[in-house]
Amino acid sequence: MVAVNKVLVTASLAFMAVATYQWGNSDSPDSRGVQLIDTAVAAETPAEYSPVKARARDFYTPNSEDLAPDEMRLIACGTGMPTARPKQAASCWLLELGNGDKLLFDLGTGSAERIAAMQIPYNYLDKVFLSHLHTDHFGDLDALFIGGALAGRQKPLRVWGPSGATPERGTKYAVEHLRKALTWDIDGRAGLTDPRGYHIEANEFDYKAVNGIVYQENGVTIRSIPAIHSLDGPVSFIVEWNGFKFVFGGDTYPNKWFAKYAQDADLAIHECFIAVPDMIEKFKFTPQSALAVGTQIHTAPAAFGKMMSIIKPRMAVAYHFFKDFDTTGAIYDGIRSTYDGPLSLSEDYMVWNITKDDIRVRMAVIDEDVWPPPATEKPQAPDASLRIPYSDMISGGKYDMSDVIQPTYDEINKEYGLNEKQE
């Protein structure tokens, strides 16, 4: 039997713990079917503890661990609801493969800062797969596009996403018009920064395709299946690489395509909305709206559990809820009424390392003062002739600061062998 190591991190009285555990039977009526063990401690005897050597970690720190050639790592960069909050950004998932590929699934509002915290060179973060065009699933696309170019992405940002029932509801239309909305931003950087990252490509595919290939590079195949959510257009993604199968459901009502094509996934992510009573209490929805949104437009906890019982993944991952002390219990109980397999109730910065023998689940510990990592290629000097000049009216408003700025020019010119002059 495949081992599954996990970390529970929730902010409730019932779940107030950070523990490594394996699924098993427990005599405790409050254990909710979880046997708590400390695998890090169990692997060491007291005699092996050292006052100067590091002990095994039960958390993940970005840029600190190698990824094996036969390993996947998934990082939750957004797990919450349409209204992003400091604790949880909207939907975003970073899948890292042992062949070096890094794939982003959704870029919901607030997720760009979580991506930055992973300290990954932005040249490696050039592939984005959008499940649909709600802002909580692509609202930070502009931030990754522009911010990534500033921080060292020296190639176009490539985006894959579904068509719509009409052209203006498709990914190509959304990306092209996002680019138009950013005209002032991009024009204002011309001639000032490395220009290579300020390009974005939309790769649109048919949302109605069933298990159709949308991406195939470097031994990685990504397929799409239709999803059922709000309007025609949303999709789910299935990633196949090196004998692994990863499924990202996006937002969807449980459907026959997911039940068929997500079977036996190593890790399957599917949305799981908060319980209807909490939608009424917390979001102040009317009962009618709470029922419609919580059970028909989105997936209710018991329905999530039923779907996982059908597809039987090595690990089921529930997302799209606010993970609070007074809402998590109802979600967990609803899922467990229909599913008793391996389960992660996700939150931002949760990390899954997936091998053939094990799925290890931890929380990431991040640096809030992180700076962009080094670029993977030498930066290209900007062409100053491409700058768009100020109008005479705006240029005439400059106050003369040449005397206090000139020492900086002198210092930089000397250090780097340049002959730059003030405007």
CB 4 within 8 A of CB 359: yes
Spatial distance between the Cα atoms of 46 and 68, rounded to a whole number of angstroms: 30
Angle formed at CA 374 by CA 371 and CA 376, multiple of 5 degrees: 150
Spatial distance between the Cα atoms of 188 and 40, rounded to a whole number of angstroms: 52
Give me the DSSP letters along 277-321.
HHHHHHS---HHHHHHIIIIIS--HHHHHHHHHHH--SSEEEESS
CB 93 within 8 A of CB 75: yes
- pLDDT at residue 9 tops 70: no
Domains of the chain, residue spans: 59-363, 389-416
Residue 415 burial by Cβ neighbours in a 10 Å radius (0-12, 13-18, 19+): exposed
Confidence grade of residue 387 (pLDDT, cut at 50, 70, 90): very high
- The per-residue pLDDT for range 226-270, each reduced to its tens digit, is 999 999 999 999 999 999 999 999 999 999 999 999 999 999 999
- pLDDT at residue 25 tops 70: no
pLDDT at site 136: 97
Count other C-beta atoms under 10 Å from residue 124's C-beta.
15
Spatial distance between the Cα atoms of 294 and 273, rounded to a whole number of angstroms: 6
Maximum Cα interatomic distance, the chain, rounded to a whole number of Å: 80
**In the chain, pLDDT over 90 holds for what percent of residues?**
85
Spatial distance between the Cα atoms of 166 and 154, rounded to a whole number of angstroms: 33
- pLDDT at residue 33 tops 80: no
Cα 300–chain centre separation: 22
> Whole-number mean pLDDT of the chain?
90
Confidence grade of residue 8 (pLDDT, cut at 50, 70, 90): very low
Task: List helix spans (H) across 38-170.
Answer: 39-42, 111-117, 135-138, 141-142, 148-150
The CATH architecture of the domain made up of 59-363 is 4-Layer Sandwich (3.60)
pLDDT at site 254: 97
- The per-residue pLDDT for range 90-107, each reduced to its tens digit, is 999 999 999 999 999 999
Structure tokens at 147: 């911010």
pLDDT at site 175: 98
CB 352 within 8 A of CB 378: no
- The per-residue pLDDT for range 316-360, each reduced to its tens digit, is 999 999 999 999 999 999 999 999 999 999 999 999 999 999 999
Residue 41 burial by Cβ neighbours in a 10 Å radius (0-12, 13-18, 19+): middle
Which residues fall within 8 angstroms of residue 397, CB to CB, at 6 or more apart?
Answer: none
Query: Considering Cα of 97, then 98, then 101, then 107, what sign does the dihedral take?
Result: positive
DSSP E strands, 144-258: 157-162, 200-205, 212-217, 220-226, 235-241, 244-248
pLDDT at site 47: 63
